[in-house]
Amino acid sequence: MSNTAPPPAGSDRELVLTRILNAPREKLYRCWTEPALITRWFTPPPYVTVAAEVDVRPGGASVITMQSPEGERMPNHGIYLEVVPNERLVFTDAYTRAWEPSEKPFMTGILTFEDLGDGTTRYTARVVHWTAADCEAHAKMGFHEGWGIATDQLEALAQKI
């Protein structure tokens, strides 16, 4: 019998960022699910997000395209696995569109938006990698710094919309 549950918290395949954000979860969720908002916060400078196409439903595909300062475009394909509006989003790059396997699965993202009252939200981004080596590579790429900057941008945008 295979174990389909994600690895336990603190495993060597997981990176986690948790923050208390001064924005209601409904607005944070919108920033994660509306293309016009995704392009405004998703990528830490000097990179930019130039396009976002999302079909936010289980099995729905997404393509978020980032661009380097040199103009190189990096499309990130994925599929939504679980969608609970304003509470939880689970997505993976293991598939592209229509359940077509990707060339190199790297991660599954699990986002939770917990309402703490008074317009604040406990935001947790849990990223589970296919291998410990992938997790280590993501950490060395600057996961905490990059996702931290993006989370600051997410919070700032959610406060404005």
Q: At what angle do helices 132-140 and 143-160 cross, to 10 degrees?
A: 70
Confidence at 10, pLDDT banded by 50, 70, 90: low
Whole-number Å distance between alpha carbons of 25 and 39 = 19
Query: Is CATH 3.30.530.20 the classification given to domain 17-160?
Result: yes
Q: CA angle, 158 as apex, 23 and 110 as ends, to 5°? A: 80
Could you report the per-residue pLDDT of 108-125, keeping only the tens digit for each?
Answer: 999 999 999 999 999 999
pLDDT tens for 76-106 read 999 999 999 999 999 999 998 878 899 888 9
Residue 4, pLDDT above cutoff 80: no
Q: Which residues of 108-127 are buried (b: 16+ CB within 10 A; e: fewer)?
A: bbbbbbeeeeeeebebebbb
Residue 8 has pLDDT above 80, yes or no: no
